[in-house]
Structure 1
Amino acid sequence: MEYLKSDFTDIEKIYIGDVPAYVVTPKLNLEKYKTIIFYHGWSSCAKNQIFRANIFAGYGYQVVLPEARFHGERGTLDYESEEVSKENMMKVIMHNIEEFPSIYKYVIENLNVDEKNIAVAGHSMGAITAGGLFTFKKDLKTALLFNGTMNWKDVVDTLIEGEDEISYERMRINDFMIQMNPQIHLENIENRALGLFNGAEDETVPPISQENFYNEVVERYENKDIIVFEKFENTRHQLTTQMLENAIVFLKEKADF
């Protein structure tokens, strides 16, 4: 991890219960930091997000990077297998949701955090996670979702497509996802700062799902400047430097974060 170290940030490995995580803090000697809890995507890991976290830290944000179940040091799967992803992705998202209260509590109690300025963010599976957390945790100031969707029914439908029958456990998890679908809880989202960034050519999480969500929820906003949906041309399922730059501009200029 030596190559990830920076003269301008401190990187600490921590454990929040059984959850490994990294904390990336700018060397600004502030009493409290605006803090982003950032979730990685399917097949990635917390360590792989440190470079991105350093970018956010370069603009003054403290970043917490939790490790998802079946990823990094918490185990591995055949991520390329369609059967494995269909069987496990919803489990991982639900597990992220279940673990968040303890992560949030740890952040509040153990890190130098401005409690009024905590955000969630993520890429792909992590963006789906962060969107759900933002919907139901109103203490969160804002969210940045990269190549994700706030319509969880679209995710469930994609993962069960072509299957004649699924296990009881997966049915239970799918029911949970549909009931917690941010798309049907717009009253929890309206008038809260939200940044949505998707690749126009993304075939893994097609941007039309997020665009449809945005078009519905933006009508509920009094100040439409604090919610953005940006679709990046010639971009597939990847988090680009342009997305990061636009996200930081959104935080600074739109989200008051």
Structure 2
Amino acid sequence: MNNYLRADSIIEEKIYIGEIPAILFRPKEAKDLLPTIIFYHGWSSSKELQRIRGFILSAVGYQVIIPDAINHGERNPIDYNDIKNGRYFWDTIFKNLDESNDIIHELILKYNTDPNRIGVMGNSMGGFTAAGVFTHNPKLKSLIVLNGSCAWQNSNKIFKKALGINEVEEFKEIEDKINEIDPINNLQLLKDRPILMLHGDSDSVVSVESQRLFYKEIMPLYQDKNRIELIEYPNLNHFVTTNMMEESISWFYKYMR
């Protein structure tokens, strides 16, 4: 796991899981069942735009799958600059959660995946997704959230305030679902499970305040405090840095061995 592989030692493959298009990376010479990372992209992104991150993770020994979310990539992308389309944000996350079991099942069935070493990771909207998938799937080994949120209600309040959205009946069903699935409302499902949160302290897109709130609430549930960590990067806006990727590799190496 700690031996870096050459570029020509990685296989990159376009696959479909049902109707879900995805890119799969894996070490070419791997013979054993592989530790596998499901990586979720952010709002307005796609699997292709995350290829370098998939390659980096695979280059240190992991199999990596990056699926396209609905409304993204090959799945009918929308105009992300149109503020009206912001209403699809939570629908996209909910759909990702609905599809996650199919992805996990297919990985184990067809792609040489070690069922006891599957981690989940995501950036921005993908970080919201990864947190929800991890919370509601106890078999997943580890979680890394980049510039996302494990406190969905709180983030939704911040989004609404920034966009000037008032309480309206049409959003009630969505908000009820947010509250039900929200990781911070399901802390007992996360007790003592490895979670790493990496976030810029000057993030103007997804405020770090929600991660601080989640960290404060969940920390008392951990016997081993090393298994839950929030790292903030000073003066960093909504970006993924080399340091974040290095921290992620170290975390997965520690908790997906």
TM-score bracket, shorter-length normalisation: over 0.9
| Map of 1:98 onto structure 2 | 98
Alpha-carbon distance in 2 for matches of 1:152, 1:113: 30
| Map of 1:217 onto structure 2 | 218
Q: Does 1:146 align with 2:153?
A: no
Letter in 2 for 1:154: N
Alpha-carbon distance in 1 for matches of 2:8, 2:200: 32
TM-fit CA distance, 1:78: 1.5
1:113-171 CA deviation, whole Å, 9 max, x = no partner?
11100011100000000101111100000011000110010232234332245463x42
Q: Secondary structure at the match of 1:99?
A: helix
TM-fit CA distance, 1:91: 0.8
1:186-227 CA deviation, whole Å, 9 max, x = no partner?
111110111110011101111121012112211110111111
TM-fit CA distance, 1:75: 1.4
Q: Secondary structure at the match of 2:66?
A: strand
How many aligned residue pairs are there? Answer: 250
1:81-128 CA deviation, whole Å, 9 max, x = no partner?
33321x110110011111111111111111111110001110000000
| Map of 1:158 onto structure 2 | 158
Q: TM-score, normalised by structure 2?
A: 0.93
Alpha-carbon distance in 2 for matches of 1:97, 1:163: 25
Q: Does 1:117 align with 2:117?
A: yes
Alpha-carbon distance in 2 for matches of 1:213, 1:96: 21
| Map of 2:18 onto structure 1 | 17
| Map of 2:63 onto structure 1 | 62
For the 8 Å contact 1:94–1:173, the answer to whether it is kept is no
Alpha-carbon distance in 1 for matches of 2:219, 2:256: 18
Alpha-carbon distance in 2 for matches of 1:228, 1:28: 33
Alpha-carbon distance in 2 for matches of 1:214, 1:39: 21
For the 8 Å contact 2:120–2:142, the answer to whether it is kept is yes
For the 8 Å contact 2:117–2:256, the answer to whether it is kept is no
| Map of 1:178 onto structure 2 | 179
| Map of 1:44 onto structure 2 | 45
Letter in 1 for 2:132: G
Q: Secondary structure at the match of 1:55?
A: helix
CA RMSD in angstroms comes to 1.5
Gaps in structure 2 of 5+ consecutive residues: 1-5
Alpha-carbon distance in 2 for matches of 1:29, 1:138: 26
Change (3 A) 1:256 1:91: closer
Change (3 A) 1:213 1:165: closer
Gaps in structure 1 of 5+ consecutive residues: none
For the 8 Å contact 1:90–1:174, the answer to whether it is kept is no
